[in-house]
Amino acid sequence: MELKEHENPSTTSTPSKQQHPLSWYGKWVSSIVLIIAMIFTANNVYPLNLIFHLMGIAGWLWVSIIWNDRALIVVNAVALAIFANGLVAYFLKVG
């Protein structure tokens, strides 16, 4: 494949804001939520870190379903189950 002079060889293959505006906002909001969750984890803010991870992963799962990206669906579905398991375990111990 030969590129024209104006073409960028490092463009992304993910849908653009114009193609899928909801998923574009969803991926960025979910990414920011996950960064906040990581900050909470690094500072041992428990279980708020699990709640934020759960929300961010759920957002990415939604985006991956819209994109029909099976690898992302599997990774995010498993991560969602892991964080949900952690939250259930926390609330069963507290209660």
In this predicted model, what pLDDT tens digit does every residue of 45-59 receive, in sequence order?
Answer: 999 999 999 999 999
d(CA 57, CA 80): 6
Q: Determine contact, residues 80/50, Cβ cutoff 8 Å.
A: no
Q: Which two tokens stand for residue 28?
A: 């960025």
| pLDDT at residue 60, as a whole number | 98
Identify the segments of the chain with pLDDT beneath 70.
Answer: 1, 3, 5-13, 95
| pLDDT at residue 47, as a whole number | 95
Task: Please name the residues in contact with 4: beta carbons below 8 A apart, sequence gap of 6 or more.
Answer: none
| pLDDT at residue 39, as a whole number | 98
d(CA 49, CA 90): 12
Stated pTM of the model:
0.83
| pLDDT at residue 11, as a whole number | 59
